[in-house]
Structure 1
Amino acid sequence: DARTLSAPDRFLDHVPVGLVRMTREGELIFVNRAARALLGERAVPGARIGELIEGLGRSLPERLTEVSTGRVGPSEIARARHAERELYLQVALNRLIQDGEVSVIAVISDQTELKSLEAQFVQSQKMQAVGQLAGGVAHDFNNLLTAINGHCDLLLLRHEPGDSDHGDLVQIRQNANRAAALVRQLLAFSRKQTLRPKILQLGETLSELSHLLNRLLGAKVTLRIDNGPDLWPVRVDERQFEQVVMNLVVNARDAMPSGGEVEIRTRNLLLDKPIERDRATIPAGKYVLIEVSDTGVGIPEDRLAKIFEPFFTTKKLGEGTGLGLSTAYGIIKQTGGFIFATSEVGQGTTFSIYLPRHDPEQEAAEPVEPVREPVRDLTGQGGVLLVEDEAPVRSFAARALRLRGYTVLEAESGEEALEIMERDGEGVDLLISDVVMPGIDGPSWVRKARESRPDLKVIFVSGYAEDVFRTEGGEVAGAVFMAKPFSLNELTQKVKEVIEG
């Protein structure tokens, strides 16, 4: 009661900063109003400070003893024990001598927002670092897979279906393709895959996808799709969006081993002001909200924060790669949207995807890619300069093109390519170059070569995505991009299209 306080304590009770005075053993003597608001109703004289806060850098008795002797350390962050929500407090301890009696005074302030921003920054840095690692690993694997697939294609040309080795080669090819799909998931998480966005009405997309989703779910699980009226258009890569939905639906199925229901809901959402969700800020604007809910086992709170990290999985060994949700996360983020998860153990999980509404005024500016019929006759004529620093990839590509009738010159660097162009460049019609190489990179040497031969046609190949190539200064007028890994037929078809195009 404020009436029983001494005059100095009555003054301190109204100070808008949390103040606590306690014995050197940690028993509370005085707690002002601001401190009670932070520490809770149990913060009364006679209570122990150790019952109210936890998580100091060192044990509380050790800190109190140290402060009592006059040694003052830096302030530390503690966590309030009473709080229903996470409440982080900055606690600064100091010695107070009053009438010869030694006590300890604590200045307490709420640092929850700062701690949340710090955790958000650390998580962002971690996801970025893992993304860079995943992108780098994917690039190197794409080079390896191009060589494996390519040389396998060359062997298949010499082994007919009746040959005893044909089946083994097909198995190598199929497993290499599975590895390529895994690499695409890594690139999706690192947001470095090539997207082909177009304007979609999600209601139509989900309706067309429902037949496949029902097959994925099986007989025990029912699917319900509830599309809101007059959904706004969105601009996404249709195949990648379908991949996101399938990943979420498969996860929902696995969370319901005894059966249940998966519901996909869509609706328009107008945000008048930014909102905060899971340490992310969704800007104000118009969105299409897609929610995928299940009635499964749910995800424990301590695992919920990690589910979008690559290779994190709650499934048994061998039942999943841990890339499904990280792939979904990467695709949605690269598209400019947001994805969140809420879950209650025993009740189920809901994934919420926010996709920004497409502005119809931009629709006219969308480039329309011509639909090309596959080239059936892959033989051709012309001179090709192939520049690739990875010898196995260069070896396969050169042999494939020579088999189809092209004259091929080879170089392992941009510098060597420029020397070849000076010496034997008259017969070259097409340049095929890797993008990232030691020394001069692909776009740089191609620009130099075009100074004297502006008519040269160009194909760039890379284990990275086309968007990364274009945004990092790789834009070269009229150049065509081809992502690794590619097959023998894909390479020769692209070359024929460019030379004859």
Structure 2
Amino acid sequence: MIETQDRQAERRLKQRPQAQRIGDAPTAVAHGAGSSGIAAARAGVLPDVMFLQPDTRRAGATDDRSTVNDDRAARDRHIATGLVLLGGSFAAASFLTPNGWSLFFASIGATLLTLFPLRIVLQWIGRWVLQLHVARMGRYLDGDPTPCFVTDRSNALHYMNNAARQQGRWQSARSLSEAVSDIFANPNAILDRLKAQADKVGVAEEEAITRQGYLRLSVHRQPRVGYLWRLEDRGIGPARQRSGAGLPMLTIGRGNTILFMNEAARDFCGARPNALEEVFPDPPTTSGRFAVALSQAGPRNCLAHFVEQSMGRREIYFLPMMDGDGLSQGGVGDGALDLLPLAILRLDGKGRILGANHAAQSLLQIEPDLPCYLGDTLEGPGRDVREWLALALSDSAPTKSEFLRVKGHTDDLFVQVSLCQIEQSEGRRLLAVLSDATMIKSLEDQFAQSQKMQAVGELAGGIAHDFNNLLTAISGHCDLLLRHRVEDDKDFSDLMQIRQNSNRAAALVGQLLAFSRKQTLRPEVMGLRDVLSELAHLLNRLVGERVTLSLKVDPDIHNLRADRRQLEQVMMNLVVNARDAMNGQGQIDINAGNQKVAAPLVRDHVTVPAGDYLVIEVEDGGCGIAPDKLQKVFEPFYTTKGPGKGTGLGLSTVYGIVKQSGGFVFVDSIVGEGTRFTLMFPAAFEAAVTRKTETVSPATSVTGAGTILMVEDEAPVRAFTARALQLSGFKVVEACCAEEALELLSDEALTVDLFLTDVIMPGMDGPTWVREALKTRPGVPVVFVSGYAEDALQDSRHEFAQAQFLPKPFTLDELTETVQNQMR
């Protein structure tokens, strides 16, 4: 017959000597209780062992091991007494009432009297089951050298192990709150908070710093038992383990309260300060900075370093300096400097490295015994290193820190180097403090790149505006001449050439506006598969017969929100650029799919926020782009093609459209192998807009009637616009500025059916004067024209919701149709 585990454990226990059975647990268990035993207790998966009966308790043990709150026992006694009295009262009432009610009162009394013994039995069973589990857990916890406690939700103590009982101060404690009252100022609040956290995640802990060192109170939720608590003495703690090195150190908590000072810090300060401001009137905020500290000998300049700890605590190490920024000789040597994770170098006037702590050796990858100069490990723009060192050794104004690049690293690693003087027996030397500044340098480069692109964009936008005004006049007067020409006229072809080249110039201006992100977009939710399918035929014609175009789109690809026409322009520009890079033969791969960015992605000085994205890759097998030219390919008028083979606006247009659409564009290239452009657009989870089939109707001559007040500061544009409208049947009143227009409107006899105005003008702009005019002439329709994008009206768009916008350059037909539609 197979024995159960409880039977086997009981038989083995009886076979052991009595001293061991009623004494400590076996040696293997005692030594492992802090690891495997407590781990099993935490997990609540304890092996089946024989629980301790009351008659097997250790000699000298008291009932502290299973103490129950006296208040709870008193409450139970009161409830039991009430049940007995109430049941007896109903039983007695059954003899004093008529026969109809005597049975009713007798049954109630019998029920209440029955509940009394039933409650006693249930309480006894509950306590017996609790003692069973606690006893089984105690067989493992008694070997743990860390004080352990088992409590219920009310913090009443049900058990404490040997390590806890050996602490005399806890023998009389009836609750855990009472036991830890000398450690925590508000024990009930802390215990309740830890229990609440343990109820959620199973475990919680709290640290405390006392005169004896660090203490950690941890709690583990135990089913069927309650809570298992461990009060771990962490000894002198990590701070005190380093406190004997001679380097002053403070441990501060939230609110800059000083929690601990090592011996060197107490010698430095003299008195026992309570707050960091009592040591540093202007506390340092970052590592590697100098700050004035109040020592018992007076104010001293110190080099500070922070080490972040748990629970909002920080350790501050500070290196005292002598007057005149010399290094203190008060027992702080190389051993103390090695404790700092901050990289520190000692230099002579020529930049030779005389000494480096461990952090500096690791950062710069230098050997401690090999001769080395600062210029051999760091490089950067700006002044010469020797000039900088000589200035630092002089008694002139303090030197500023420099941002330098560490040589020998595959990735760009930048450090901020600060210099100060030190006095040593060999003479005056320099102390160099190196702080990691890679992130700061990356942010600076990112800001500089964005500022450059913004400046070029503003320039491009301004040029586009001026060109649009000129092109409006050129193409407009060309249209006026073509109204009276037929194909047989000898000057018809010349006029068509002027018109076609004006359109080409307008397309180039549109690309400038795209780069400057000031073009007008008409975004819509669309399916990329449909867009690329419709565009595939045109792309195949663009690449030619010797280039293979491969198109792969994920069938479950997200929708995106963008301007369809501009997205098609982006794809055409990238494909044409890829075709030219392969000299007209090879393969171009277009791949599109979904990508989820779990954490912010930093690439090429740009941060892509976390989220769902639609990714398009256009890859070729062409000549590639050199690394030093990659960051310039998106700049306008920059091209790697030969003279006359490119305008330098194709990729800048791609950059502008993608950015204006809320996306990102990256480029990877290997010389001789090819280039890949990656577009990332935020996913749109709305349904795609169904496009209506457009029907083309034959052009008709547009005529109209009415008076138009036209305001335009450019004389050529004003002349063409006025003549075009007059030829279409409108009466035109011209004004060269907003002020003149308002003066004309002061004549009440003047009837105006429409305002036609430029947006950006010297003095009062278009929206401003229209706003004033509508106060006296409400309801007059408005048409705004501008060489800038419609964004110029962004601040006033809500005021002129019914207004029409006509971008320059516009044709004669576009002008008359827009005016006619607005006057209907």
Do both proteins adopt the same fold according to a TM-score greater than 0.5, normalized to the shorter chain? yes
1:85 to partner: Cα distance: 0.8
Aligned partners of 2:764 and 2:532: how far apart in 1? Answer: 46
Q: Deviations 1:56-110 (Å, cap 9, x if unpaired)?
A: 6333334444445555522212211111111112222333332244433321121
Q: Which residue of 2 aligns with 1:266?
A: 592
With CA pairs under 8 Å and 6+ residues apart, which has the higher RCO, 1 or 2? 1
Question: CA 1:210–1:82 in 2, change beyond 3 Å: closer, same or farther?
Answer: same
Give the letter aligned to residue 419 of structure 1: E
Aligned partners of 2:623 and 2:409: how far apart in 1? Answer: 27
Give the letter aligned to residue 423 of structure 1: D
Mapping 1:107-256, distance limit 5 Å: 107-256=433-582
Question: CA 1:153–1:79 in 2, change beyond 3 Å: closer, same or farther?
Answer: same
CA contact (8 A) 2:525 2:686 kept: no
Q: Which residue of 1 aligns with 2:246?
A: none
1:439 to partner: Cα distance: 2.5
Q: Deviations 1:235-256 (Å, cap 9, x if unpaired)?
A: 1111100111111111111111
Q: Which residue of 2 aligns with 1:3?
A: none
Give the letter aligned to residue 411 of structure 1: A
1:124 to partner: Cα distance: 0.9
Q: Which residue of 1 aligns with 2:661?
A: 335
Aligned partners of 2:354 and 2:622: how far apart in 1? Answer: 50
Largest Rg, 1 or 2: 2
Aligned partners of 2:437 and 2:384: how far apart in 1? Answer: 20
**Residues matched between the structures, number:** 493
Question: CA 1:472–1:382 in 2, change beyond 3 Å: closer, same or farther?
Answer: closer
SS at match of 1:136: helix
Report the TM-score when normalising by structure 1.
0.92
SS at match of 1:357: strand
Aligned partners of 1:209 and 1:492: how far apart in 2? Answer: 32
Q: Does 1:416 align with 2:740?
A: yes
Aligned counterpart for 1:81 among listed residues 399, 407, 413: 407
Q: Which residue of 2 aligns with 1:275?
A: 601
Give the letter aligned to residue 354 of structure 1: M
Give the letter aligned to residue 602 of structure 2: E
CA contact (8 A) 1:93 1:105 kept: yes
CA contact (8 A) 2:636 2:652 kept: yes
Q: Which runs of 5+ in 2 are unaligned?
A: 1-330
Q: Which residue of 2 aligns with 1:454?
A: 778
Question: CA 1:69–1:141 in 2, change beyond 3 Å: closer, same or farther?
Answer: closer
1:450 to partner: Cα distance: 2.3
Aligned partners of 2:489 and 2:820: how far apart in 1? Answer: 30
Aligned partners of 2:568 and 2:575: how far apart in 1? Answer: 10
Q: Does 1:381 align with 2:705?
A: yes
Q: Which runs of 5+ in 1 are unaligned?
A: 1-5
Give the letter aligned to residue 340 of structure 2: V
Question: CA 1:425–1:123 in 2, change beyond 3 Å: closer, same or farther?
Answer: farther
SS at match of 1:84: coil
Aligned partners of 2:344 and 2:378: how far apart in 1? Answer: 14
- Note the aligned Cα RMSD (angstroms): 2.5
CA contact (8 A) 2:421 2:428 kept: yes
Aligned counterpart for 1:52 among listed residues 370, 377, 394: 377
Q: Does 1:477 align with 2:801?
A: yes
Indicate the larger mover: 132-141 or 56-65: 56-65
Q: Deviations 1:236-291 (Å, cap 9, x if unpaired)?
A: 11110011111111111111126322111111122222211111111122211111
Aligned partners of 2:734 and 2:380: how far apart in 1? Answer: 63
Give the letter aligned to residue 605 of structure 2: R
Report the TM-score when normalising by structure 2.
0.57
Q: Which residue of 1 aligns with 2:641?
A: 315
Q: Does 1:401 align with 2:722?
A: no
1:499 to partner: Cα distance: 2.1
Question: CA 1:34–1:388 in 2, change beyond 3 Å: closer, same or farther?
Answer: same
Q: Deviations 1:342-375 (Å, cap 9, x if unpaired)?
A: 11222211111111122428x89x9999999676
Indicate the larger mover: 160-169 or 242-251: 160-169
Give the letter aligned to residue 598 of structure 2: D
SS at match of 2:596: strand
Q: Which residue of 2 aligns with 1:302?
A: 628
CA contact (8 A) 1:38 1:110 kept: no
Aligned partners of 1:130 and 1:475: how far apart in 2? Answer: 31
1:438 to partner: Cα distance: 2.2
Question: CA 1:229–1:465 in 2, change beyond 3 Å: closer, same or farther?
Answer: same
Question: CA 1:456–1:70 in 2, change beyond 3 Å: closer, same or farther?
Answer: closer
CA contact (8 A) 2:544 2:584 kept: no
Give the letter aligned to residue 725 of structure 2: L
Q: Does 1:468 align with 2:792?
A: yes
Mapping 1:418-437, distance limit 5 Å: 418-423=742-747, 426-437=750-761
Q: Which residue of 2 aligns with 1:391?
A: 715
Indicate the larger mover: 412-421 or 274-283: 412-421
CA contact (8 A) 1:56 1:76 kept: no
Aligned counterpart for 2:763 among listed residues 439, 455, 465: 439
1:426 to partner: Cα distance: 5.0
Q: Which residue of 1 aligns with 2:386?
A: 61
Question: CA 1:51–1:417 in 2, change beyond 3 Å: closer, same or farther?
Answer: same
Question: CA 1:271–1:277 in 2, change beyond 3 Å: closer, same or farther?
Answer: same
SS at match of 2:679: strand
Give the letter aligned to residue 342 of structure 2: V
Question: CA 1:262–1:124 in 2, change beyond 3 Å: closer, same or farther?
Answer: same
Give the letter aligned to residue 703 of structure 2: T
Indicate the larger mover: 123-132 or 370-379: 370-379
1:467 to partner: Cα distance: 2.7
1:424 to partner: Cα distance: 6.0
Indicate the larger mover: 456-465 or 413-422: 413-422
Question: CA 1:287–1:388 in 2, change beyond 3 Å: closer, same or farther?
Answer: same
CA contact (8 A) 2:708 2:753 kept: yes
